Amino acid sequence: MGFAIPHSRLPLLCCLIAFILTFAVTRTIVRYIRSQADSEAPRKWWQPRNISAGDDLHIHHVVIGVVLVMVSGVTMVTLAVEGGVPEFTAAAILFGIGAALVLDEFALILHLSDVYWAEDGRTSVDAVFVAVAVAGLLILGFSPLSFFDVDIWRSEQSLTARTIVVLAAASTLTLAVIVLLKGKVWTGLVGMFITPLLVIGAVRLSRPHAPWARWRYSNRPRKMRGALARERRLRRPVVQAKLWLQDFIAGKPKFPDETMVDEQLDREIRAAPAPADRVPAG
């Protein structure tokens, strides 16, 4: 039996498809332009090239993305009352295209510098992964407010039932905060849709650089060593896959060697400094 997407989620599905296709096409075009940068051969009309406007002003595609996001956003607000699914789908496709163009240069916005091909440029790819993951969970029917049972709240008027709902919501939000304080952003993100992940993330060791480790492990060296060793062991295959995928998307597909992986682990894995009130005076 196949999985059927409800008609109401068609705009979100089309938005995600437009987002992924635009990101893939944009990366391909940018890679092609970069490969032709040193070529002195005259460009044909159909060959991709940078967009410029007088005095060598380079217009980044994030600018086009911002315009598309704004136009589609205003369109959705206008359609919010009387718009149908076809109209929303068209606006969602436009939004997906614009969002892909914006997030593809997320690192430029974050660093206020053109770091597209630099190490810091990988932030853009991370942002795209997060966006695709969230949209995918929403399409599958997961709700980021699954811990708050609206049906019980509406159907049950008793104080006991509503108290249980409120306590469940407060407990889940508390777990989410703990997980984020432990530096487990992905667990916290997905856990807002799948609550048991929050429980697992909350009871496991903190990541060594996170605020939780800074507050709770700075005077417990055994805990910190365990957190560092666990982080390095668990992060190694993730870093290998991440570097390979990022290089593949960036147009340089290769499997990272151990030295590259170790260097990335050294950059990512560190012990949180002790709070100021626990640092001995020099």
What average pLDDT does range 58-87 have in this prediction?
86
pLDDT of residue 118: 61
* 71 in the same domain as 54: yes
pLDDT digits (tens, 9 = 90+) for 166-183: 787 788 888 888 998 888
State the average pLDDT over residues 122-150: 71
Task: Report whether pLDDT(230) > 60.
Answer: yes
Count H helices, E strands: the chain?
Answer: 12, 0
The 10s digit of each residue's pLDDT in 75-84 is 988 887 777 8
Identify which has the larger pLDDT, 200 or 254. Answer: 200
3-state helix, strand, coil in the chain (%, to 5): 65, 0, 35
Per-residue model confidence (pLDDT) at position 281: 46
Residue 275 maps to a domain: yes
Are residues 119 and 185 both part of a single domain?
A: no
d(CA 180, CA 213) in angstroms, rounded, equals 12
Residue where a domain terminates, one of 166, 182, 204: 204
Q: Is residue 52 part of a domain?
A: yes
The pLDDT assigned to 169 comes to: 77
Q: Are residues 219 and 280 in the same domain?
A: yes
The pLDDT of residue 98 is 93
pLDDT of residue 111: 66
Q: Is the pLDDT of residue 28 over 50?
A: yes
Residues of the domain holding 19 = 7-139
Whether 54 and 43 have beta carbons less than 8 Å apart is answered as no
246 and 264 together in one domain: yes
Contact predicate 251/27, CB 8 Å = yes
**What is the value of pTM for the model shown?**
0.61
Q: Which of 185, 204, 223 is the last residue of a domain?
A: 204
Interatomic CA distance for residues 235 and 231, integer angstroms: 6
Query: How much is the average pLDDT of 23-51?
Result: 77
Number of Cβ atoms within 10 Å of the Cβ of 130: 14
User: Is 244 in the same domain as 133?
Assistant: no
pLDDT at 144 over 60: yes
Range in 5-9, 19-23, 202-206 the model is least confident about: 5-9
Mean pLDDT of 88-112: 86
